[in-house]
Chains A and B, each alone.
Chain A
Amino acid sequence: MTSIWEYANPKKFMQTSGRFLPWIAGLAALCMVGGLIWGFFFTPNDYKQGSTVKILFIHVPSAMIAINGWGMMLVASLIWVVRRHHVSALAAKAAAPVGMVMTLVALITGAIWGEPMWGTWWAWDPRLTSFLILFLFYLGYIALWQAIDNPDTAADLTSVLCMVGSVFAFLSRFAVDFWNQGLHQGASISLDGRDDMANVFLFPLLTCMLGWVLFFLTLVLLRTRTEIRARRLKALIARERMG
């Protein structure tokens, strides 16, 4: 049986990811575009929210990726710290800009939705505030990678930052349950069926969520491949300079 640690070898990672990428990217595009068209054109307006309910199909999957993207970075960082596999450190680095953009999308679409529904673009509500802090952690994480020349030191320090930031990723997911106050509502859907959503909204939302997960995976694979190439390029240039 093939061990998962084989993919820590950059060559093996490039071969395998290259084989699967077109399929994952194609499926991502299909689910994202299909889910958005379904949600935008073929769902009714909500009796309370009117047509703003359609923002759900972008906002919820983006927020989900914002939080779980950081979770993926945490796992990759822990693998780096424990096993020193370069590919995992590069995967964490590759995921950060994707997670950062998703956090920004969730914040912007939430603010646009909040203005007519809550009467304000922004409130210092537990969920919103922890999301803003998560966004700042993403920025800090990306800046830290850029600021340090030695890639191993950068991977070490960003791993520590990632572990600290995980507290806010966790809080942004459970803030509503912990504090039970603020404007933001609880989970849109849940596995135990507590928060039932009408199927007419649920199915396009699930399609979008699947699309967003595959989109995240596609971009992380693409960006990790680019980081591996950048690392090889740096090594070649260093060798050229030496003689």
Chain B
Amino acid sequence: MPDLGKYAVTVLSAYGAAITLIVALVVWTLWRGARMRRLLREAEARRARNG
């Protein structure tokens, strides 16, 4: 760990907030993508079954 001196809380909170937001964006994107893929697969299977 580098020596952050008296600004340790400032630097760590900036990194913490940014990484939290970026990870949340990635998780949301992947979750929504997986959900949409599943729903589309189900709808296409229904369509193939029902003609």
Of residues 76 through 122 on chain A, the ones whose CB sits less than 8 Å from some CB of chain B are 97-98, 101, 104-105, 108-109, 112-113, 115-116
Bound Cα distance from A240 to B50, whole angstroms: 9
Measured CB to CB, the closest approach of chain B to A28, in angstroms, equals 10
Bound Cα distance from A219 to B26, whole angstroms: 8
Q: B40 touching A232 by the CB < 8 A rule? A: yes
Chain A at the B interface: mostly helix, strand, loop or mixed? helix
- With an 8 Å Cβ cutoff, the count of chain B residues facing the other chain is 33
Chain A residues, Cβ within 8 Å of B28: 97
Chain A residues, Cβ within 8 Å of B5: 45, 50-51
Chain B at the A interface: mostly helix, strand, loop or mixed? helix
Chain A: interface size category:
35 or more
Measured CB to CB, the closest approach of chain A to B21, in angstroms, equals 5
Most chain A CB neighbours (cut-off 10 Å) among B6, B24, B29, B47: B29
Q: Looking at the complex, which one of B15, B26, B29, B44 makes contact with A40 (CB distance below 8 Å)?
A: B15
- Per-position 1/0 for A45-62, Cβ under 8 A of B: 100001110110011001
User: Quick one: given A101-B25, A226-B36, A229-B36, are A116 and B14 in contact (CB under 8 Å)?
Assistant: no
Chain B residues, Cβ within 8 Å of A237: 43
Q: Is A233 an interface residue (CB 8 A)?
A: yes
9 A-B residue pairs with Cβ-Cβ distance under 8 Å, sorted by A, are A51-B2, A54-B15, A58-B15, A108-B14, A116-B10, A219-B25, A226-B32, A229-B36, A236-B47
Q: Which 8 A-B pairs have the closest CB atoms?
A: A51-B4, A112-B14, A236-B43, A226-B33, A229-B36, A58-B18, A55-B14, A109-B14
A interface, CB within 8 angstroms of B: 36, 40-41, 45, 50-52, 54-55, 58-59, 62, 97-98, 101, 104-105, 108-109, 112-113, 115-116, 215, 219, 222-223, 225-226, 229-230, 232-233, 236-237, 239-240
